[in-house]
Each structure stands twice: as structure tokens, then as C-alpha cells.
Amino acid sequence: MMSMKNWKMRPRVVAAFLVAGIVPLVVAGWFASNRASAALEDQAFAQLETVRAIKAGQVQAYFSERMGDLDVLAANPFVKMAVVELEAATAAAEARGVREQDLMSDAGYRRVHDVYDPVLKHYMEVYGYYDIFLIGTRVGRVNYTVTKEPDFGTHLADESHHLARLWEQTVGSGRPNTTDMEPYAPSAGAPAMFIATPVEDGGRVIGVLAMQISSEQINKIMQERTGMGETGESYLIGPGKRMRSDSYLDPRGHSLAASFAGTVEVNGVDTEAATRALGGETAADVIIDYNGNPVYSAFQPVDLPGGIRWALLSEIDVAEVRQPIATLQRGILLMSIVAGILVGLFALFTAGGIATPVVKLAEAAKAIAKGDFSQRVTLDRGDELGELAGSFGEMSAAVQAVVAELGGTADAVKAGRLSHRGDARRFQGTYADLVTGVNGVVDSFVTPISVTSHYLADISAGTIPDKITEKYHGDFDQIKSALNQLVDVMTGLLGETRALTASALAGDLSARGDAKRYHGGWHDLVGGINETLDAVIEPVKEAQTVLERVAGQDLTARMVGTYKGDHARIKEALNAAVDNLDEGMTQVQAAAEQVASASDEISSGSQSLAQSTSEQASTLEEISSSLQEMTSMTQQSATNAHEAKGLSDAARQYSEKGMESMRRLAGAVEKIKASSDQTAKIVKTIDEIAFQTNLLALNAAVEAARAGDAGKGFAVVAEEVRNLAMRSAEAAKNTATLIEESVGNAEGGVALNAEVMGNLEEITSQVVKVSEVMAEITAASEQQSEGINQVTTAVEQMNQVTQQTAANAEESSSASEELSGQAEELKSLVGRYALTAGRAVVGASGTRGGQGSYGTAGPGNGHAGKARGWGKSHNGGSRRPEVARAIHRGGVAGASASDLIPFDDDDVLGEF
């Protein structure tokens, strides 16, 4: 940041006025703001402490009332009777094999359950509990719940959740107990809190009464927010710093359920206030809450029955409490801004009279520094600033005159008037020295430039002058050295050109200029002359070498150098001539080799054919004998198939009779089952009558108990009626069991009968298929016999053809031997020449070229198809015209042996 001593004059004057006017106002505002902030903070703490005390009292009173409800309900005779009878009903259902999840479907348990459930359910709804439990003492069997969650019917002795621990503590201690909130799996994993007390009868514990506390009641207490503003809230936390009530500000991330489902860091309250409150401290302070916001917090511990300690926190955001302070601070800031604007305007007006002349002088000085000497500053004032402006104008005029004089000298030099000099007498002091120095600089470079101009004029006219001998310094000495080197190069090039011309006139084309003596473009010039000479002599020497080798019967020689223009046309013409000669000799050699190869193949094939036909004739005789034996076996198979078909028809008739008997048996079993179903309905009616009688007797006993002594006799009668109803229900149950067994046996007989009938139907179906298959086998055997007879006839005909083929093969072998001898004579004649077929083309200099450049004639070439004289065949006739046509179509190299020498017996051999 720029220090104040570097400030310009106008900002410095304005800053001084602003400091003097605004600082006192800011100090006064800061003092008032601090006083108001302290008052609001005290008020916020007082309000939070009041809310904290009220909420803590309400929570403790709620749990005290719940413990009182527990004691009253456990002492009620109705509840004691429910504990005893539901325990007995549950034990009886388990003895009958009823599973815990099916208790409500058991009739005996359901009758007892329906007596007590309406009263207990009504009590739960009125007093705001989540659930009520009646638990046995021996294995902790949950005999009754209102909500029938998955814990209904379970044995707590086999469980490990906190309800099981609460039951164990209550039975062991014989007094009420409480558990803190923990996730409870039967309630879908939601946090649950339980209170429990033993149910006693005559000093003996007969069961345990437990209640599941509803978190909704606790949330109603904590969610009351009168006087808490927008960000104020009260909430409870437990020993693990997890929520015990839902947060008002963050009902999703810091609810009771989210706190136990997540982590303490994300969903709990791990703050300074929580730690201090759980440690037993009651206080109020400014802390950072679970959302990372500064808050005013009033906190204290809350001790509950069972030694459980929670913490209650009442908090409100610091930003909300200090909102009035922020409004006050904004007012003070606005007043400061207005005052600053007024003071600044006055300061600007005052500073303008001082700073404006100085700014004008500074701007004029900057313009002169950039080369603008026309600047003048006029101030109509008699103080020091006016004198400064006059002196500045005189200085600007003097500098402008010096610059104009030097500019005239520079323009004259640019125009080529090197004799022009500046007039130093017009100036004094340093300005005169400056003009004199510029004149000396012009004198120092005029002489070398003049010498250079004369030398270049002589060289361009074709005259090579002598070297410069005068002495120069600096860059002018480098110019002198460059001109002397140019003179040396031009002299050397002239000597090289004269030597090459003399050699060429004498017939010596091997002479070359020495390009190594030169550099750059001069080196390229001498090298270009040498390359021109090389391009003239090289193709002439290569053509001479090719012609000498062709004269010596070597047709592989070619010109392989790379040439252009007329040299390229000479190369193409010479190579084409050698190609034509080489191609003709190659075609003759290829034809001789093809004929020799074809004759060898024919001879070998004819001998193999004769031997194969002899072996085939022997094999055909063996085949004929085997076919006769096969005919006899086929006839025997047809006879056996007729007999098997008769047996399968008999089996099918017996299986159909068995199916009819099973149908009659199934009808009898169905009638037995129908009778059993009717009997079961009658027994069920008797059981329902006994159940209703039992229920009426139970109600009569309750009414008799309410009547006191007057109802004792009626109670005895009701008990006897109830016993008779129970005995009738038991007998009906036994009868129903026997009938169910009979019905089950009947159904099993029906199923077994259906299975047997299915098996018989499958057997019948398979027998029918076997009969059909045997009929098909019989027909196939007869057809097979006829087919074998036809094959035997065909084999005899093949034997005759085989013998004829052997005779023809002997004749072909004799003819091929004669043709092979003639082909060998032709190959001997062609072998005297060195041809390109099968080897690489060799250039005149001994290098090898690719055969693809000068290969033998292929299809469409036209050379191989010209007339050639062939000898006579072995039978005295001329060669067939097919041979010439085959060669004309694709050349000798493209013709097969069968095209060159076709067989007379192709039609006969084609059969094989």
C-alpha cells in the first residue's frame, strides 16, 4: 500500500479534513453500541434460564406421573386377573403347538384376550403411552401387548434388547425400574423407553407390567416455544450426546430417530454445553451449537427415575439477539457516511485552490517528457505558483529550439545531404555542446560509406578492384573485411570456370570444380556445374554396359538409373528391346517345363488308376457277398416284428381293464370324504356353542363378583356351567381331530388312486406307441430287403466298368512317356540363355532390380499366343487345336496340364 508521504496534494488535504470530522462521531457510536449489546445479552440469558427451568420441571413431573400410573395400574385387581389368565392361555396355546406369531389365531387365547384388551387399550390411548405389556415371570414370555408388534409372544429370557434387561432387573429386584431410550428392533428400530413394575398377589410376584413411553408426549413439552423468537429452541440429550427429543430447527438431521440412526458427529449434540450439562453443571454461556452457529445457551442436568440423567438445553442464535444492535450500528454508520460526505465536499473545495495549478504544471511536464514542446501554463496569480509557471514556459521554449535544430540535421542526412551540419552558435551551455556532438557523429560515418559505394560500383561493372588497405575502426572495419573477402571469392570463381572450360574443349569430361573452397551460394554454384557434367555422362556409360552383356547372351541386364527428359526416353527404349527378347525366350522355356511336368503326371496317374481299378474289382465282389447275407437277416427281423406287435396289443387290453377298476375305487373314496366333511361341520357347530356358553359363564362370574355376597351362589352355578362348556369344547375338539384324520386319509386315498390311474394311462399310451413302432419296423424291413437287391445289381454293373477303366489307363501311360522325351529336348535348347524368369533383373552396374519391372508376359500379353510348331502325337495324328487355344487364352504359365494335353478317355474317367 502506498504510504501517505507519496499521496498527491488533493487526497492528502481531503483525508485530513475527514479524520478531523468523522473520528469523534465513530467513537461515540461504538460506545453506544457496546452498552446496548450488553443489555440485550443479559435479557437473552435471563429469558433462556427461565425457559430452561420451566422445561426441566415439566419433564421431571411427566416421568413422576408415569411412575405413579404404573403403580396404580399394577395394584388393580383387574390387571392381576389379566396377568394370571393371559399367562395360562398363552401356556396352553404353546402346549398345543401354536407358534408365537399365531397366538391371535388361537381360539382359546383369543377368548381370554378379548376380555381384557378393550380396557387396557383405552387406558393406553387416554394417557398417551406407546404400548402396554403383560409379561410372565418364568421365561419372560410376553403374554399381551396392545399394538401386537413382533415382540408379542416372545420369551424375553432369550432376548438381549433393553426391554429384556428391564424385565430381568424388575423380577430380580422386586421394585419399579426404568430404561433409557435405545433403538428397539420390534418397533422397526425406532428409539424406545420403558418403565416396568412387578405385579404382586399376596406378596408373590405373578408377573411384570411394562409400559413403552411415547416420544410424542416428550416432544410436546419441548416444542412449546413461547417467547423463543425465530431461532430459539429447547431439546433434551442423553448420556451418549444423542437426542432425546426432536430439534425444532433441524427436525430431519437432529430428530430422535435420526440421532440414533446416524452418528454423534453428524446427528448428535457434541457441544460444550452438552458436555457441561451431562457433567452436572447448570449454567448459561455463549457457545457454538450443533449447526456450527454461535448461540446463547442455558443448560442443566435433568435426573429421571432409575438413575437416568439427561441434559436440557435452551438456546437462541446470537445473530437474532443482536439484531437490534445491528440496526443501531447501521444507523450510526449511515450518520457517519452523511457527515463524511459533507466534510469531503468542503475539503475538496478547499484543496482545489491549492492542487489545481500544481496538477496543470505536472501535466505540462509529462507532455514535454513525451516530446510535446508546445505546452504552456498560464496562471493569473502573483504568488509562488505564478512565478513557477513563468519559469516553466521559458524552459519549454529553449528545449523546443534545440530539438528543432537536431531534427533539421537528421532530415538532411536522411535525404542524402551528408555535408549538412547543425548551427551550435545559436545556443549556450549544454545545448551548444549537444549540437556540436551530433555534427561529429555525422562526420565519423560519411567517409567509409563513400569507399563502399565506389567498390560495389566497380564489381557490378565486371572489374575486380584491389583490396582496401586503409584503417577503420568498429563496424566500419567489419565492412572493409567483408569487401576484401568478396574480392577474393570473385577471383577464385573466375579461375575455376576457366579451368573447366579448357578440360571440356580437350574431351576430358571427368574434370570437376573444387566446391569445398567456397561457402553458401558460391559453394552451390560450383556444385551445380559439377552435377550438370555428371548428368550428361552417366546414362551414356550405363547404356554401353547393357548392350555388351546382351551381346554375351545375358538377357537379365537392364538400365536401372534414374533419369529425366531425353535420358529417360533412351533408358525406356533400350529396356523395352531387351524385354521383348527376354520375354520370347522365357515363354519357350515355360512351355517346355509345363509339357514335361504334365507328361510325368499323366504317366503316374495312369499307373495308379490301373492299380486302383484292380483293387476295386476285388472289393466289389466282397460287397456282393455281404449284401446277400444282409438280405437274409432283414427277412428274419420282419418276422420277429410281427410277433412283437401281437403281444403289445394284448398288453393294451389288460391296462384298459385296470383303469376302469381304479375309476370305480375313486368314486367310493369321494363318497367317504363327503360324509366326513358333513360330520366335521356338525362338530364345529358344537364347539361354537360350547365357546359361547363359556363366554356367558365368564360374564356371569364377573357380574356375580360385582354383586358381592348376594351373587356367590350364582357364581358357583356359573363356574359349573363354565366347566361343562369347557369339557364339551374339549370333546368336540377331539372328535374334530379324528374327523380331520379321516378326511386326510380319504384325501390321501383319492390322491393315490389318481396317481395309479395316471400310471395306467401312461402304460396304455406306451403300449400303443410300441405297437405302432413294431408295425413301422415290419414295413421298414420289407423296404430294406428290396433296396439291398437293387444295390446288388448296381455293384455288378460297377465291376464291369472298372475292368474297362483299367485297359484305358494302360494306353495313357504309354503315350505320356513319349511326350516327356520330346519336352526334355526343347528345354535343352532354351537353357543356353540367361533369362529373367525365376531370378532378379540385374542392372548394367551389377545391381539387382525387382522382377515386377521387367517380368514375363502374362495374360493378355499377346506374345505367348503366337503360332509354335509342336511335334506329332504318339498315335501319328497332329496336336489338338485345344492346346493352342489354351496357350492363347492365358500363356503357357497360366495353362494347366489338362489344357495342354487332354485325355481321349475323359468321358470314361469322369465317372470316377
In a domain, 88, yes or no: yes
pLDDT, position 247: 94
* Residue pLDDT, tens place only, 217-264: 999 999 988 888 889 999 999 999 999 999 999 999 999 999 999 999
Pick from 70-84, 601-615, 625-639, 829-843 the range whose average pLDDT is largest: 70-84
Is the pLDDT score of 324 beyond 90?
A: no
- Indicate if the alpha-carbon torsion angle 416, 420, 424, 426 is positive or negative: negative
Extract the C-alpha cell encoding 185.
428392533
State yes or no: pLDDT of 670 exceeds 50.
yes
Spatial neighbors of 158 by CB under 8 A, at least 6 apart, are 139
pLDDT of residue 722: 60
- Which of 293 and 846 is assigned the larger pLDDT? 293
Q: Is the dihedral of CA 626, 630, 631, 636 positive or negative?
A: positive
Q: How confident is the model at residue 858 (pLDDT cuts 50, 70, 90)?
A: very low
Lowest mean pLDDT, pick from 9-18, 695-704, 840-849: 695-704
Q: Residue 143: inside a domain, yes or no?
A: yes
- Report the pLDDT value the prediction gives residue 384, as an integer from 0 to 100: 67
Single pTM value for the model: 0.39
Q: How confident is the model at residue 161 (pLDDT cuts 50, 70, 90)?
A: very high
Q: Same domain for 541 and 593?
A: no
Higher per-residue confidence, 848 vs 514: 514
Q: What is the pLDDT of residue 703?
A: 53
Mean pLDDT over 699-716 rounds to: 56
Same domain, 516 and 592: no
- Asked if the model's pLDDT at residue 802 lies above 80, the reply is no
Task: Assign 454 a pLDDT band (cuts: 50, 70, 90).
Answer: confident
Same domain, 425 and 491: no
The region of weakest confidence among 419-428, 617-626, 695-704 is 695-704
User: Are residues 685 and 808 located together in one domain of the fold?
Assistant: yes
Which of 149, 123, 120 lies closest to 134 in space, CA to CA? 120
Residue 268 lies inside a defined structural domain of this protein: no
Does 298 fall in a domain?
A: no
In which band, very low, low, confident or very high, does the pLDDT at 870 lie, cut at 50, 70 and 90?
A: very low
Query: Quick one: pLDDT band at residue 910, thresholds 50, 70, 90?
Result: very low
- pLDDT digits 0-9 by tens, 458-478: 777 777 787 787 777 777 777
Indicate if 650 and 761 belong to the same structural domain. yes
Stretch among 276-285, 416-425, 467-476, 884-893 having the lowest mean pLDDT = 884-893
Q: Is residue 848 part of a domain?
A: no
What is the count of structural domains for the chain? 4
Better pLDDT: 51 or 493: 51
Cα–Cα nearest to 584, from 883, 851, 899, 837: 837
Output the furthest CA–CA distance in the chain (Å, rounded): 171
3-state secondary structure at position 554: strand
pLDDT in tens, 112-129: 999 999 999 999 999 999
User: pLDDT higher for 758 or 311?
Assistant: 311
Residue range 666-671: mean pLDDT, rounded: 70
- The CATH number covering residue 425 comes to 1.20.120.1530
Backbone angles phi, psi at 247, to 5 degrees: -80, 140
**Contact predicate 847/581, CB 8 Å:** no
Q: Of 539, 557, 575, which marks where a domain is finished?
A: 557
Average pLDDT over residues 787-808: 70
**Does one domain contain both 131 and 195?**
yes
- Summarize the confidence of residues 82-103 as an average pLDDT: 91
Q: How far is CA 268 from each of CA 233, 248, 252, 323, rounded to the nearest angstrom? A: 15, 14, 12, 28
699 versus 591: the higher-pLDDT residue is 591
Confidence grade of residue 381 (pLDDT, cut at 50, 70, 90): low
Can you name the residues that pair with 132 across neighbouring β-strands? 211
Whether the CB-CB separation of 202 and 80 falls below 8 Å is answered with no
Strands 557-558 and 841-843: parallel
Whether 8 has a pLDDT exceeding 60, the answer reads yes
Q: Is the pLDDT of residue 401 over 70?
A: yes
Separation between Cα atoms, residue 483 and residue 481, nearest integer Å: 6
Highest mean pLDDT among 543-557, 724-738, 884-898: 543-557
Domain-terminating residue out of 514, 536, 557: 557
Is the pLDDT at 313 greater than 90? The verdict is yes
Q: DSSP readout, 696-741?
A: HHHHHHHHHHHHGGGGHHHHHHHHHHHHHHHHHHHHHHHHHHHHHH
**At CA 185, angle to CA 182 and CA 190, rounded to 5?**
55
Please identify, among 183, 213, 243, the residue that sits at the C-terminal boundary of a domain. 213
Q: Are residues 456 and 473 in the same domain?
A: no
- Angle at the Cα of 906 (from 900 to 907), degrees rounded to 5? 150
Residues 493, 542: one domain?
Answer: yes
550 alpha carbon, distance to own chain's centre: 72
Domain assignment present for 347: no
Between these two residues, 228 and 695, which has the higher pLDDT value? 228
Within a domain: 345: no
Indicate if the pLDDT at residue 848 is higher than 70: no
Backbone φ/ψ region at 113: left (φ over 0), alpha (ψ -120 to 50), beta: alpha
**Least confident residue range of 47-61, 512-526, 671-685:** 671-685
Output the domain CATH number for residue 621: 1.10.287
| 771 and 745 together in one domain | yes
Query: What is the pLDDT of the chain when averaged over all its residues?
Result: 77
Task: State mean pLDDT over 656-685.
Answer: 71
- Tell me the pLDDT band of 725, cut-offs 50, 70 and 90: low
Phi-psi region of 205 (alpha: psi -120 to 50; beta: other; left: phi over 0): beta
pLDDT tier at 840, thresholds 50, 70, 90 = low
SS3 409: helix
Same domain, 527 and 406: no
pLDDT above 90 for 165: yes
- In this structure, the answer to whether residues 455 and 472 fall within a common structural domain is no
φ and ψ of 322, to 5 deg: -90, 10
Instruction: Evaluate whether residue 7 is within a structural domain.
Output: no
What is the predicted pLDDT for the residue at 706? Answer: 45
Do 704 and 632 fall into the same domain?
Answer: yes
Whole-angstrom distance, CA of residue 55 vs CA of residue 289: 19
Q: What is the pLDDT of residue 9?
A: 63
**The domain spanning residue 195 has which CATH number?**
3.30.450.20
Bridging pattern class, strands 129-135 and 142-145: antiparallel
Q: Which residues contact 498 (CB under 8 A, 6 or more apart)?
A: none
Q: Residue 438: which domain range?
A: 373-460
Q: Hunting for cell 573452397 — which residue is that?
A: 517
